[in-house]
Structure 1
Amino acid sequence: MEFLWEMAQSWAEHFQRDLFRYLLAATAVSLSVSWLFRGWMNRRRLQKRRATWRDVRREVGFSMLTLGVFATIGIVTETLRDWGLVQIYWQWTDYPLWWNLASLPVVILLHDAYFYWVHRGMHHPKLFRHFHRVHHLSRTPTPWAAYSFSVGEGFLMAIFSPLILMLLPLHLLIWLSFIFVMIFRNAMLHAGCEFHPRGWVDGPLDFMTTTTHHDLHHQRFRGNYGFYFTWWDRWMGTEFKNYKVMFRQAVDGEFSDETAPAKVQAAT
C-alpha cells in the first residue's frame, strides 16, 4: 500500500507540473489574442468561423485526459532514471560547453522530425479514427487544443520524452527549456490568428512554421504536418501549394471572406 501511495503521489506531481505548463501557455496565448492584442489579432484571423465555448470545453476536457497520459509516462521516465537509463545531468561541467550550447537545438530538430512522421502516420486511414480524430474535432482550433488528443495520440506524443532522454545526455535546464518551447509553440500554432509579420514567408526565417501553416492543416487535414519547421513538408511535398498566399491574406485581414479557406489547394 505504501508503494501504491508513493506512485499516486508521484503521478499527481507530474500531472500538476504538466497542468501548470499547459495552463500557462494556453492562457498567455489566449489573453494575447482576445485581450492584450485584440484589435490587431482580430484583423489577422485565419477563419471566419469562431470557436465556441463548447469547442473550448471539449479541448480542455481532452487535454486533461492527455495530461493524465503524460503523468503516467512521467512515472515511466522517472523509473528509467532510477535504473540509470535516462541521461539527465545537473552540473554544466559534466559535459563540454559545445554540447550544452548545441543540445537544445538538437532536441528540437529531433522532435520536429519525430512529430512530422508520427503526425503524418496518424493520418493514415486505418489509424486516423483511433489516434488523431479527436484532435481534428477542432476544425477551428484555439490555444486550448494544444493537448486535445486521444489516449493513443497522447501516448505517441509522450513517449518522445523517455526515448530522447535515453538517447541523449541533457542538462535539466535544457530539458525544461525544451518543454516550455514545445507547449508555447503548440499554443501559438492553434491560436487562430497570425502572429508573424507579413514578410515572414519571404525572409530568412521562412523555414519556421506559422500559425497559418498549422491552421490550414486543421482546415484541410492532409498536408502541413510539420511542427517547428517547414522542411519536412517541403522535402516530402506535403505543404499546401498556396500556403504563402494564404499567409499573406491572413496578415492583410482577407480571411473575413467566407470563401477564403475554400481556396486552399490540396497537398501533393
Structure 2
Amino acid sequence: MDLVLEVCDTFVFDKIYSALFPVPDAVTTILQAAADPSVALKNISVPYIPATPYEYTLIPAGPAAYMTTIARTNIWRQTTSLYIITAIFGVLLYLVFATLSYVFIFDKRSMQHPKFLKNQISMEMIQALTAIPFMVLYTVPWFLAEVRGYGMLYWDVEDYGYFYLALQFPLFIGFTDCGIYAIHRGLHHPLLYKRLHKPHHKWIVPTPFASHAFHPVDGYLQSLPYHFFPFVFPLHKISYLFLFTFINVWTIMIHDGEYVTQNPAINGSACHTVHHLYFNYNYGQFTTLWDRIGGSYRKPDVSLFDQKVKMNQATWKQQSKEMEKIVKEVEIVDERTYDGPDSKKTQ
C-alpha cells in the first residue's frame, strides 16, 4: 500500500496538503532552488522525508512535497490519506466490477426466482455502499502498519528469490482460505449470526451486487486473514496489490450465479449459491478443502450446471421448499419480502 500512497501523494495529496498546511515562504525557496541548485531546498523549514525508501527510484517527489508542514511521514496524514484512497478504490472496484458482472455475466432470469427479493438490487447496493466506509475505517490500521514498515512486504525479488515469488500465491490462497473458513463458520453461530452475518444472508438468490453487501463488522472480520498474511509471510509489494484486487473480484464472481466449473476442489459460484440457499454448507472462500475436513461440504446439484434445468420452475420450487425448512431452523421467522408473483412474506 505504500506504493499506492506514494503515487497518490505525488499526484494528489502533496498539492492538497501544501494548500491546506503551507510552509511559510516555501514558494520563494523553491524558486531559489530552481534558479540556483546550490541552495537546493536547504532553507525549507520542514525537512522532507520520503514516505518509502523506494521513492526516488519510482516517482521523484514534486515541489509540492516540500511545501507543507504536514510531512508525508506524519501518521495522521497517512491515516487520512489511506482512508480516502481505500474508500474510493473500494467503492469504484465494487461498482465497476459488479456492474460488469451484472451486465455481461449474471443471468437476469434468476430475478424471476420465487426467492428473489422485492427491490433486491437496490437493497444490495445500499447495504454495500453504507458498509464499505466502515469496513475501510476498520481496515486502515492494517495498511498504516504496513506503510510504516511493520509487515513483511518487500520490493527486491532477490530478497526471497523467484521460487518464493511464485510460491506466495498458493500460500496466500491456502492461508486465507483456512482463516476465512474458520471465521465464516463462526459467524454462523446463533449468537453471531443474528447480530452480524444475517444481513448478508438476506440474499437467497444473490446478484453480483450482493458481493459486498455485509454488516460492516462481518465484512471486516472475514477480511482479517488477508491482512494477517503479510505480517506472517513475506509478500511482494506488487503481488500484494494484485491479490488485494483479486480477492475483491473473486468475491463478486462467486455471487454472479454463473457456474463455469464443476471442479470438486474449487469453491466457486455454484458452491456459494448452495451456501446462500441452504445456509449451513460451503463456508470456504477459494477451495472446498476445509468444508470437506469440517464436514460442511455440500456438492452443488447437477441441475445448477444444466441451463435447461437451472431456470426451471420445478427446480426453483424444490430449492424454495428446502430453503424454507432450513431458514425456519436458522432464523425462526423469515422476514424477507419476495418479489415473485406467488410469493408472500412468511411469518
Aligned to 1:179: 244
Q: Which secondary structure does the structure 1 equivalent of 2:211 belong to?
A: helix
Aligned to 1:94: 159
Aligned to 2:318: 260
Aligned to 2:338: none
Aligned to 1:23: 95
Whether contact under 8 Å (2:115, 2:320) holds in the other structure is no
Q: Distance in 2 between matches of 1:89 and 1:133?
A: 38
The answer to whether 1:243 aligns with 2:300 is: yes
Aligned residues: 250
Whether contact under 8 Å (1:208, 1:228) holds in the other structure is yes
Q: Distance in 2 between matches of 1:218 and 1:246?
A: 16
Deviation at 1:116, TM superposition (A): 1.0
Deviations 1:189-223 (A, max 9, x none): 111x3331xxx43xxx3211232211121111111
Larger RCO: 1 or 2 (CA < 8 Å, sep 6+): 1
Which one-letter code corresponds to 1:30 in the other structure? Y
Deviations 1:34-89 (A, max 9, x none): 5xxxxxx467x597237467222222222223322342244212331244321222
Which one-letter code corresponds to 2:276 in the other structure? H
Q: Distance in 2 between matches of 1:47 and 1:183?
A: 27
- Corresponding residue to 1:194 among 241, 253, 258: 258
Deviation at 1:134, TM superposition (A): 0.9
Q: Which secondary structure does the structure 2 equivalent of 1:72 belong to?
A: helix
Which one-letter code corresponds to 1:19 in the other structure? V
The answer to whether 1:219 aligns with 2:277 is: yes
Structure 2 unaligned residues grouped into runs of 5+: 1-20, 22-69, 327-347
The answer to whether 1:7 aligns with 2:79 is: yes
Instruction: Classify 1:114/1:263 alpha carbon distance in 2 versus 1 (closer, same or farther; 3 Å).
Output: same
Instruction: Classify 1:87/1:73 alpha carbon distance in 2 versus 1 (closer, same or farther; 3 Å).
Output: farther
Q: Distance in 1 between matches of 2:226 and 2:115?
A: 34
Q: TM-score, normalising length from structure 2?
A: 0.64
Please say which of residues 78-87 and 175-184 is displaced more in the overlay.
78-87
Q: Which secondary structure does the structure 1 equivalent of 2:113 belong to?
A: coil
Deviations 1:145-193 (A, max 9, x none): 11111122122023333311111111122112212221222112111x3
Which one-letter code corresponds to 1:20 in the other structure? L
The answer to whether 1:169 aligns with 2:234 is: yes
Q: TM-score, normalising length from structure 1?
A: 0.82
Q: Which secondary structure does the structure 2 equivalent of 1:26 belong to?
A: helix
Q: Larger C-alpha radius of gyration, 1 or 2?
A: 2
Which one-letter code corresponds to 1:162 in the other structure? H
Q: Which secondary structure does the structure 2 equivalent of 1:133 belong to?
A: helix
| Segments of 4+ moved more than 6 angstroms | none
Report the structure, 1 or 2, having the larger helix content.
1
- Corresponding residue to 2:219 among 151, 154, 161: 154
Whether contact under 8 Å (1:15, 1:71) holds in the other structure is yes
Please say which of residues 1-10 and 230-239 is displaced more in the overlay.
1-10
